[in-house]
Amino acid sequence: MQDVSAANLRATVEKLASYNTRNTLSATMPEAAEWLRSEFAKLPRMKTELMTYVAPKGRRVPEDMEVVQCVATLPGKSDRILVMGGHMDSLNLQVDAKTGRAPGANDDASGVAATLECARLLSQKEHEQTIVFVGFTGEEQGLLGSRALAEKAKAEGWKIDGVLSNDTVGSSSNLAGQKDEKHVRVFSEEGEDHNSRELARFLEWEVRQGGGDFRLKLVLRRDRFGRGGDHTPFVQNGFNAVRFIEVHEEYTRQHTPDDLPEHMDWNYLANVAKCNLIGLTSLANAGPSPSNVRIKMDQGHNTTVTWKSNGAKVHTVYWRDTRSAVWEGHVDVKDAEEATIPLVNKDDHFFAVGAEGGVPTEAR
């Protein structure tokens, strides 16, 4: 597979930032959405649409308004679906929403650029799963576009394995002098009816296995304190969803006229896109998740894990110390529904089993 191109990422961010504003209420936002749609449409097999939804009167929306967002679908062979997106709308709180300048380069042309670049690379090959690439809008008015798509997905019974939202992923440093070029944060929450934390843990593992020195830093909470993102409406509708965001945000460049391409680190953005690409490539070709993942009740120094295969040939068993947020060991098992892990006890460790390349299920 070709590599992520920092030049492509830069060109997309610069193009999106060149619109006077991409505020969801503005006249230029639909123009930007149409430009983005036409870029996705250049890719092989990609089906594109400007999805319409109603932004209801409320916070930052003076009256009910019909708006669009960009949805591009790369069809797969199975009925399972992955979603990657960033929000293409921008915000400048210092000016008039409809007409004031709001470049929104990092927040969030960066996430949209990463999405378009991953789409370009993933469309070069056929995958098992369908992948839906989204330029959300209405994010700044309260996650309106992501909620519209998540509700549609739930109503239509989409079988979504994972949603990767990228929001503000293009800068490695802030004006306080902090810098981290080697990590991107991934926020995830736990819940009864979704497996978002396991999706995050899987992505961290997969990127680490890739061998590069750029890694995911898992943050074990829904989002930053008091703030939100487009992954959350998906979680609330029962889907696995996580948020990528740079480690050191610069708050004076968020929702201001200073959110400009010249403050961005293209190499860093390329690394974040690469992490998404590694995760999506793996997930898009994974077999179905196993069911009945259990730890065998017996006393001893070894741990036996059992599961029921739902069609995958190879399964991966993972384990970690209960104090560790990330997987520490793994073994691949072919044509079997049981594995014994020697000298890893079930008291001090958590275990999980996944179809090879898929989101694992915790063993209980």
Closest approach of Zn ion to the CB of residue 168, in Å: 5
**Smallest gap from residue 95 Cβ to Zn ion (A):** 17
**Is residue 246 within the footprint of Zn ion (CB under 5 A)?**
no
Query: Hey, what are 71's tokens?
Result: 């949805």
**Positions 180 through 209 that interact with Zn ion (CB under 5 A):** none
Binding to Zn ion by residue 107, rule CB under 5 A?
yes
Least separation in angstroms between residue 227's CB and Zn ion is 9
- Cα angle 241-41-140, degrees, rounded to a multiple of 5: 45
Nearer to Zn ion, 107 or 189 (CB): 107
Contacts of 46 (CB under 8 A, 6+ apart): 40, 72, 73, 74, 119, 123
- Closer residue to Zn ion (CB): 108 or 265: 108
Instruction: State the Cα–Cα distance between residues 248 and 169, nearest whole angstrom.
Output: 10
Binding flag, residue 108, Zn ion (CB under 5 A): yes
Query: Residue 167 Cβ, how far from Zn ion at the closest point, in Å?
Result: 4
Q: Does 230 bind Zn ion (CB under 5 A)?
A: no
Site map (CB under 5 A) of Zn ion, residues 51-90, x = contact: ----------------------------------------
The CB-side HSE value for 226 (13 A sphere, CA atoms) comes to 0
| Closer CB to Zn ion, 59 or 301, in the complex | 59
Q: At what angle do helices 110-122 and 266-283 cross, to 10 degrees?
A: 50
CB 198 within 8 A of CB 360: yes
Smallest distance from Zn ion to CB 221, Å: 17
Q: Residue 112 CB, nearest distance to Zn ion (Å)?
A: 10
Q: How many residues bind Zn ion (CB under 5 A)?
A: 3
Stretch that binds Zn ion, among 106-114, 217-225, 230-238, 331-339 (CB under 5 A): 106-114
* One-letter identity of residue 271: N
Q: Which sign, positive or negative, has the C-alpha torsion 204, 207, 208, 214?
A: negative
Residues 155-184 that bind Zn ion (CB under 5 A): 167
Q: Show the tokens assigned to 29.
A: 């936002």
Provide the binding-site residues for Zn ion, judged by CB under 5 A: 107-108, 167
